[in-house]
Chain A
Amino acid sequence: MSEDLEFAFALLLSGASIGLMYSLIALGFVLVYKATDAINFAQGEFVMLAGMIVVTVLGAEAPLIAAIVVVLLVMIGFGFGLEKVVLRPLLGRPVVAVIMATIGVAAVLRGLSPLVLGIETRALPLPIGDEPIAIGPASLPPIQVLGAVVAILFFIVFSWFFKKSRMGIAMRAVADNQQVAQAMGINVERYFAIAWAMAGIVSALGGVVWGAMLGVDVQLALVGLKVFPVVILGGLDSIGGALVGGLIIGIVESLAAGYLDPYVGGGTKDFAPYVLMILVLMIRPYGIFGRRQIERV
């Protein structure tokens, strides 16, 4: 393989693995939007919170597995609690009210983080070493491989859940039409809470892998910003869309960094996804897999 091709392959591979990790976070966003129609602007802060919990537990000399169990439980509880305390009183209010509430939650979490942890970046060590893993002619840091694997596992589990399990089908029914779902005996409010708890689970794992990659501090919340191009591209309410959208955004970023940065002096990686997002909004506003209103003719 020529050197150019090898370079391209390395960029694709690294973009895809980072992209899968974006997908993982976007999944939390999609779960909430799909079930409750709420747009969660605090998704990145969820991830940051999870990262903080993990380093705090690890800081108390606890084993990693204990930290993961704790972060999962706390984030589930956090999802339930947030729905109950902040979002349920807003039921039936305009969407903007919910958006503002989540922005408020995000600000509070970001403000609390330095209070609790200080402003230093804390490392989140995972016992996977940092010897790059060779894949074909390129290689990846082990944390990116782990992140990608976790993301894929989650997608398989959630796809099964929504297609096959009765709970998942009920959740889709709620997303489709709340009033009718209620009349079918589905406790809509409970399913809202479950959706937020599921977003908590996804964020917990997202916090572990992203925290291990970037270190844990307030900046970790910024990965949440990447959620928007991903879900706009893939479709706000599509699980598969989050996967594909994440992959595309990751690859676009990586290609921009590899091919455009040398000419302009760097930084294209950070805005390329948003350019793509605006293009998508103009051409296909519901995303690649988003739900178009079904109209019978």
Chain B
Amino acid sequence: MLAINNIEVVYDRVILVLKGVSMDVGEGTITTLLGANGAGKTTTLKAISGVLRSERGEVTKGAVQLGDKRIDGMRAHDVTRMGLVQVFEGRRVFENLTTEENLIAGGHVQTAGAVKQGIDLVYSYFPRLKERSTQVSGYLSGGEQQMLAIGRALMSRPRVVLLDEPSLGLAPMLVEEIFGIVSRLVKQERLSVLLVEQNATMALAVADHGYVMENGRIVLEGPADKLRDNSDIKEFYLGLNEGGARKSYRDTKHYKRRKRWLS
């Protein structure tokens, strides 16, 4: 559905942030992109959705394909029109608009009739938003704002959704609820999701396929269940030791494991 082919991203014409990244997101699946802070995950998403331009970044090499159309170099609002939408890290709802107005703004590329249907659809997946429909969204709770950010993205009736750290700053219960809804959306609406997460345990539990990114490169990829069993992933992202038990602080102190992909 979404294919990223060896893209390079340069900021301010000098800073090379992505150094040849390739990924595939299959239709109706969740693909996750893991990595530490500053690895280039968010930049990857912004390169795909086209908002990179407003931050003085540029895709200098490679291609991004949505279905059979090339979308790299297109402007962000045109990319959304093509059926790909990004949900930003940190929720970023339109704070001065009400919940419902946020949804209407999210459906900007759709016809008036489709917006009405879209609102009903979003409320059916996120009933809590319906209760809050006339409230100014800046005052919603963090979980509700995250739901609104996802719901708002759905309003454009996308085929591909880029989800940037939906678990950020949310209670574990809420994280589980939101991931549950995302999984249902993928199955029932045949969405394709590219999920960026710090919470690797959660991400690998819902994803079908995963990539690991470090320093602007993909260093590891594979089906999510394989990645869960990979000893490097366990060590560095899941915080488990080889036996699968929770790692204790003493182990890290005495022995620092070397990442195998670095050699």
CB B110 to nearest CB in A, in angstroms, measures 9
| Among B97-105, B122-130, B230-238, the stretch in contact with A | B97-105
A133 within 8 A of B: no
Residue among B95, B101, B138 with max Cβ neighbours from chain A (10 Å)? B101
Bound CA–CA A185/B80 (angstroms): 5
A171 nearest CB neighbor, chain B only: B105
B156 within 8 A of A: yes
B56 nearest CB neighbor, chain A only: A92
Residue among A170, A185, A186, A294 with max Cβ neighbours from chain B (10 Å)? A185
CB B115 to nearest CB in A, in angstroms, measures 7
Bound CA–CA A172/B96 (angstroms): 8
* A169 / chain B contacts, CB cutoff of 8 Å: 97, 101, 104-105
Bound CA–CA A109/B104 (angstroms): 39
Residue among B77, B81, B106 with max Cβ neighbours from chain A (10 Å)? B77
Residue among B80, B94, B105 with max Cβ neighbours from chain A (10 Å)? B105
Bound CA–CA A187/B76 (angstroms): 8
Task: List B129-169 residues whose CB lies under 8 Å from chain A.
Answer: 136, 138-139, 142, 152-153, 155-156
A55 within 8 A of B: no
The 8 Å CB contact of A184, one of B85, B115, B136, is B85
| Among A173-181, A219-227, A241-249, the stretch in contact with B | A173-181
Contact B139 A181 (CB under 8 A): no
B92 within 8 A of A: yes
B109 within 8 A of A: yes
Contact B97 A183 (CB under 8 A): no
Bound CA–CA A176/B88 (angstroms): 15
Residue among A172, A176, A178 with max Cβ neighbours from chain B (10 Å)? A176
B51 within 8 A of A: yes
Residue among A166, A181, A182, A184 with max Cβ neighbours from chain B (10 Å)? A184
A93 within 8 A of B: no
Chain A interface residue count, Cβ-Cβ cutoff 8 angstroms: 23
* A181 / chain B contacts, CB cutoff of 8 Å: 94, 105
Contact B77 A187 (CB under 8 A): yes
Bound CA–CA A179/B120 (angstroms): 26
Bound CA–CA A296/B90 (angstroms): 13
Contact A176 B97 (CB under 8 A): yes
B192 within 8 A of A: no
Q: Binding site of B, secondary structure by majority: helix, strand, loop or mixed? A: helix
A105 within 8 A of B: no
CB B185 to nearest CB in A, in angstroms, measures 18
Known: A92-B54, A173-B94. A183 touches B105 (CB 8 A): no
Contact A184 B105 (CB under 8 A): yes
Contact A166 B136 (CB under 8 A): no
B104 nearest CB neighbor, chain A only: A169
Known: A183-B51, A294-B139. A176 touches B108 (CB 8 A): no
A 203-216 binary contact with B (CB < 8 Å = 1; else 0): 00000000000000
Bound CA–CA A170/B77 (angstroms): 13
* A49 / chain B contacts, CB cutoff of 8 Å: none
A239 within 8 A of B: no
A76 within 8 A of B: no
Bound CA–CA A176/B136 (angstroms): 12
Known: A183-B85, A184-B152, A186-B77. A176 touches B106 (CB 8 A): no
Bound CA–CA A178/B105 (angstroms): 12
B31 within 8 A of A: no
Contact B77 A188 (CB under 8 A): yes
Bound CA–CA A68/B142 (angstroms): 51
CB B156 to nearest CB in A, in angstroms, measures 5
A284 within 8 A of B: no
Contact B104 A183 (CB under 8 A): no
B149 nearest CB neighbor, chain A only: A180
A165 nearest CB neighbor, chain B only: B104
The 8 Å CB contact of B109, one of A172, A173, A185, A291, is A185
CB A141 to nearest CB in B, in angstroms, measures 39
B86 within 8 A of A: yes
Bound CA–CA A221/B181 (angstroms): 58
Contact B77 A172 (CB under 8 A): no
Contact A173 B139 (CB under 8 A): no
- 30 intermolecular pairs with C-beta atoms under 8 Å apart: A166-B104, A166-B112, A169-B97, A169-B105, A170-B105, A172-B97, A172-B101, A173-B101, A176-B95, A177-B95, A178-B54, A179-B51, A179-B88, A180-B94, A181-B94, A182-B51, A182-B54, A182-B77, A183-B76, A183-B86, A183-B88, A184-B85, A184-B108, A184-B153, A184-B156, A185-B80, A186-B105, A186-B108, A291-B96, A296-B142
Residues of A at under 8 Å CB distance from B? Answer: 92, 166, 169-170, 172-173, 175-188, 291, 294, 296
Residues of B at under 8 Å CB distance from A? Answer: 49, 51, 54-55, 75-77, 80-81, 85-86, 88, 92, 94-97, 101-102, 104-106, 108-109, 112, 115, 136, 138-139, 142, 152-153, 155-156
Minimum-distance CB pairs A-B, first 6? A294-B138, A185-B80, A185-B109, A173-B105, A176-B94, A182-B76
